[in-house]
Amino acid sequence: EKGGYDYFMLKEIAEQPKAVADTLLGRIDAAGSLTLDEVRISPSELREVDKVVIVACGTAFHAGLIAKYAIEHWTRIPCEVELASEFRYRDPILDGRSLVIAISQSGETMDTLMALRHAREQGSKVLAICNTNGSTIPRESDAVLYTHAGPEVAVASTKAFLTQLVACYLVALYLGQVRGTKWGDEIRAVIRDLSQISGEVERVLDTMEPVRALARSLADKNTVLFLGRHVGYPVALEGALKLKELAYMHAEGFAAGELKHGPIALIEEDVPVVVVVPSPRGRSVLHDKIVSNIQEIRARGARTIVIAEEGDEAVVPYADHLIWIPATPTLLQPMVATVPLQVFACELATARGNEVDQPRNLAKSVTVE
Ligand code: M6R
């Protein structure tokens, strides 16, 4: 049932292009517009929304962090993202015009379920993004957008994450579409790019051998740091989470702009630092800033592992290891930038002799608070 792979995680990483394509299936019409009729919240209700609040845990929370960038950019609706386990304990401000999005692969995570119950008690509509048909979270929500990743067995979430991102982009673009923001042309262009993205994920998967070799060479390290900016920041957090749960290594993700506010003190000789570089097109200011971060940490002896867009020559002189990813629109970059980090963590776990599919102390779905 592992389809010839040693671990479910490897199989699930490989299934990502299909999972992504399946999640888009039937949701883009022939004219290139989104059709999310299945989301039983009407366009007029969606036009009333004045705030979006996303609640989720772990990897699903990271998908939510990325969704915030997309939602605020394409819809101009303020969006907050909160760990579901914190949400209801701080008396959040919610009402009938708040749209709460609960993201959960399993649909059974107790923290997320309690957060959505709290939101509904305040009169907010809840939209679930979920991978498991008929599970509790979608059953208790006002509406659901299913991800079509298929069953995810490995405890470490991979294909569910990529499909959660797709679902978040769909919701953001759809909200933008029904509300008619000034980004109409961009929204149409991104919908086109989104329909190509599964092929790009496939291309990344085809180039992973050097990433595996690199991971094996780092098996005796104690710490790996991850840096990113903008949507690359949640990608850095996700890379660090994968490494913690699979390799049992100390791993931390930082927003690169925070380095000088503390974390740069952690940089010492030979510590591996993975840097997710934004596209040199689009938000080029951020690109240039992160290139100077890479220079700074390398000057202090860090071993730099740079994930950058193909053709980004500016990073080459400062990278000890380069991982190229295809060019995508800025907001879609996490779709391709996360994949090498999944492969990296999985290979490190194997090299350290850890149980890949069933890491110690963890359960696939966390049904206690
Ligand atoms: O089933 P859920 O998406 O609600 O699960 C949330 C987290 O428990 C989950 O993403 C966890 O962080 C994964 N093990 C990460 O790989």
Q: Which of 8, 59, 87, 357 maximizes ligand 1 atoms within 8 Å of its Cβ, making it the mutation to test the pocket? A: 59
Q: Residue 127 corresponds to which tokens in the numbers above?
A: 């939209």
Task: List, for residues 44-97, the tens digit of each pLDDT value.
Answer: 999 999 999 999 999 999 999 999 999 999 999 999 999 999 999 999 999 999
Ligand 1 atom 7: residue of nearest CA: 58
pLDDT of residue 294 exceeding 80, the answer is yes
Centre of ligand 1 from the C-alpha of residue 105, in Å: 7
Asked if residues 249 and 222 have their Cβ atoms less than 8 Å apart, the reply is: yes
Spatial CA neighbour of 273 closest among 306, 304, 248: 304
Centre of ligand 1 from the C-alpha of residue 59, in Å: 5
**pLDDT value at residue 38:** 82
Task: List, for residues 166-205, the tens digit of each pLDDT value.
Answer: 999 999 999 998 888 777 788 889 999 999 999 999 999 9
Q: Residue 21 corresponds to which tokens in the numbers above?
A: 């394509």
Atom of ligand 1 nearest to the CA of 164: 3
Asked if residues 20 and 328 have their Cβ atoms less than 8 Å apart, the reply is: no
Centre of ligand 1 from the C-alpha of residue 361, in Å: 14
What is the rounded average pLDDT for all residues in the chain? 95
Task: List, for residues 216-241, the tens digit of each pLDDT value.
Answer: 999 999 999 999 999 999 999 999 99
Residue % of the chain over a pLDDT of 70? 100
Q: Which of 12, 101, 106 maximizes ligand 1 atoms within 8 Å of its Cβ, making it the mutation to test the pocket? A: 106
In this structure, the residues whose C-beta lies within 6 A of any atom of ligand 1 are 57-60, 104-106, 109, 112, 155-157, 241, 245, 365-366
Q: Is 364 a catalytic residue?
A: yes
Kindly indicate the confidence band of residue 281, based on its pLDDT and cuts at 50, 70 and 90: confident
Sign for the pseudo-dihedral over CA of 35, 38, 42, 47? negative
Rounded Cα distance, 199 and 210, in Å: 20
Q: How many CB atoms lie within 10 A of CB 184?
A: 12
pLDDT of residue 324 exceeding 80, the answer is yes
